[in-house]
Structure 1
């Protein structure tokens, strides 16, 4: 079955592609979205009414998820949470489904393994079974469930939902007519909402997002965060600073769910972005891809090529031809008062544990 170009799909559902065929295509996607929406509503109702079984882990579970398809910054959020709990002495285990994997761990897992070497990460579609393994074999005291908002079979003590400030509500439509995995009304299940990449939009946009979120979840804390560039990493894992980037001619490529966010982050560093090449999310780079990237990098005349850590962990290269290749490593940074979130997190720490700084 032919793979649909993500950019072509996005232009279609945004209404940027015009003409009778495009209108007919959107109509067909709308019919598909209606059926998908009914299925999602029925599934959620079954869990809400106790008609579907829920597995309860023997330790607290914190889920990080979102409403939309594409990247909202879940991996930096998971990393932030793991560090927060590790600093308080808890044995943490990450579990996830493992999207984009073949017979090995996927790119997010490779990034987390590199950034959190002391935190184990288990991947399998059966996350209830993983929760048992985490407790029995790894002696985990707390489980972080990555991309877990729609996975309701494993009960969680706290649901954190990320909304990407660049497109928080998936064009306001259910997939495939839009990018919503489920309606925005599902935010009522959230324990807290975090608006990611909040620094990349104006204040009035941020206020609108908060108002919309409160309309669906009036009693939950709403926080804002940014993806803060931390450093540059090469294919060997060596770390360099961000010094010298302003004004430098940079080419970039990525295979992530939100390339617009990556572009905005690069531009915020003052680089002169000469070209951005976009691959599908979770793209498995082949030898032909690398050859093409070498030719492309040379043609751009860039002094430096930047990519994401998710992409570089699959390539493990430090150069593309004559151009140095570096990953821009990102860390999540909460904006404003973090105490509402930290209070929720601290409430899951066993009473025998100290809670410094909470």
Structure 2
């Protein structure tokens, strides 16, 4: 019986897959134009719906390239922001111009994390890329979530795979999580297996990857907690302040369970977790729900991405803390390899 109910989704997946393959073929054979920006382009993307850690890697990559003396900007679609269709400058590297509602939560978070890096949004990536190059005289644009945006030529195509969830059930959307067939991995310049914990399932993921992309360089990354910030006062603490504390953790991200795991690894007594949908728009009702719960714990912890949407709400009477997390490459030569693709 279950197969009968899943049949419509499977049929839709076949249709979706045929359209995706046709689109890639039309770009490859020149029927659709691939345009080159006036600067180099690094695309950071994935092959599944949901998060694989793209935004943290974009931030880490931008920092690394800036340290190498390159002029860098980040171009994101601005998912769920009101400027997604029209495009806009979130930050010029000195001040921010768009609100989180206009830019989207992830571009706003990047602008906060990287005050010296311009961040732009827009569905029309090529047009916004040209604008960015002209305005900021760039060496490199990092295209956030760009693997499927085939209309912009790129020097580096990074694909991220979540080691925890992998390729799900292996089906294309909507029957499964795949945005493209796994054979599309062959377009990648580099593949990064994220959340590659020592005790995790990455060996099995590596075998799967090697079946479809045997010759693409493979790297591994994990996340590390780097700071804890009081949401009201802005006071910075070390993450180990949470050790032994009784707390509630909540998140509206693609993989909240992994965030909760990171909190638990700090030695916190997590008495309750609350998961919201990814890119969740928090409101006063959510704060009202958290307020009585906060009386029963030492702290409530959330992510930087969630705080982007929370910061305009009344938080004074809630012991809310933001746990800062960074992307850490396990192979130190990763950035040098990525940079080498830029100037071949």
1:338 corresponds to 2:332: yes
Q: 2:122 aligns with which of 124, 127, 137?
A: 124
How far apart, in 2, do the equivalents of 1:165 and 1:42 lie?
Answer: 29
Provide the residue aligned with 1:264 in structure 2: 261
- Cα separation, partners in 2 of 1:340 and 1:316, compared to 1, 3 Å: closer
Shift of 1:59: 1.1
Residues 1:276 and 2:273 aligned together: yes
Deviation at 1:162, TM superposition (A): 0.6
Q: Conserved in 1, the CA contact under 8 Å of 2:247 and 2:271? A: yes
d(CA) in 1 for partners of 2:161 and 2:148? 14
2: distance between equivalents of 1:221 and 1:82? 21
Report if the CA contact (8 A) 2:156-2:341 is conserved: no
| Inter-partner Cα distance in structure 2 for 1:117 and 1:340 | 24
SS in 1 for 2:247: strand
Q: 1:321 to 1:297 in 2, by over 3 A?
A: farther
Kept after mapping to 2: 8 A contact 1:235/1:313: no
SS across alignment from 1:244 = helix
TM value normalised by structure 2:
0.89
Question: 2:194 matched to 1:214?
Answer: no
Deviation at 1:345, TM superposition (A): 1.4
Unpaired segments ≥5 residues, structure 2: 84-101
Q: Which moved more, 1:325-334 or 1:29-38?
A: 29-38
Number of residue-to-residue matches in the alignment: 325
TM-score, with structure 1 as normaliser: 0.86
Give the structure 2 partner of residue 295 of structure 1: 292
Equivalent positions of 1:43-62 (< 5 A) are: 43-62=23-42
The structure-2 alpha-carbon separation of the partners of 1:273 and 1:46, relative to structure 1 and needing over 3 Å to count, comes to: same
Considering only aligned residues, what root-mean-square deviation do their CA atoms show, in Å? 2.0
C-alpha contact (below 8 Å) 1:302/1:323 kept by paired residues: no
SS of the aligned residue for 1:68 comes to coil
The answer to whether 1:26 aligns with 2:6 is yes
C-alpha contact (below 8 Å) 2:43/2:158 kept by paired residues = yes
Partner of 1:112: 110
Report the alpha carbon displacement of residue 216 of structure 1 after superposing the two structures with TM: 1.4
Q: Distance in 1 between matches of 2:293 and 2:139?
A: 48
Residue 306 of structure 1 is aligned with which of 290, 301, 305? 301
Q: How far off is 1:321 after superposition?
A: 7.0
Secondary structure of the 2:239 match is coil
Offset of 1:346 from its aligned partner? 3.5
Per-residue deviation at 1:244? Answer: 2.6
Shift of 1:46: 1.1
How far apart are 1:201 and its partner, in Å?
4.3
